Amino acid sequence: MENPHDNPAALKALQDAIYREKILRARGMSPEERFNEAMDLTNSVAERMIEGVIWQTGNSDRETAIAEVHRRMERLSRARDKNLYVSVA
């Protein structure tokens, strides 16, 4: 079997199939289930950001890492508010 990462068309097809599966799964959920999934995803992303800061800084103090994540998010918000970057779709 060919590795899809070696073939852009195969990779795109795999990405599309994964996306379709996620959509179909979401359509089968109740609003409460979708909300819970969204909260789980949000928490997971926040944990990865905290772990990334800990890895980047070498400082294992969780409160310091959380403060750094907040600082970085505020910086991004300020840049967005000043139109310093443009999202690309």
Is 89 a domain residue?
Answer: no
State the residue range of the domain holding 15.
4-81
Query: Model pTM?
Result: 0.67
Is the Cβ–Cβ distance between 13 and 4 less than 8 Å?
yes
Is 70 a domain residue?
Answer: yes
Confidence of residue 2 (pLDDT cuts 50, 70, 90): low
Confidence of residue 4 (pLDDT cuts 50, 70, 90): low
Q: What percentage of residues in the chain have a pLDDT greater than 90?
A: 81
pLDDT at 54 over 90: yes
Is 86 a domain residue?
Answer: no
What is the total count of domains within the chain?
Answer: 1
pLDDT at 1 over 70: no
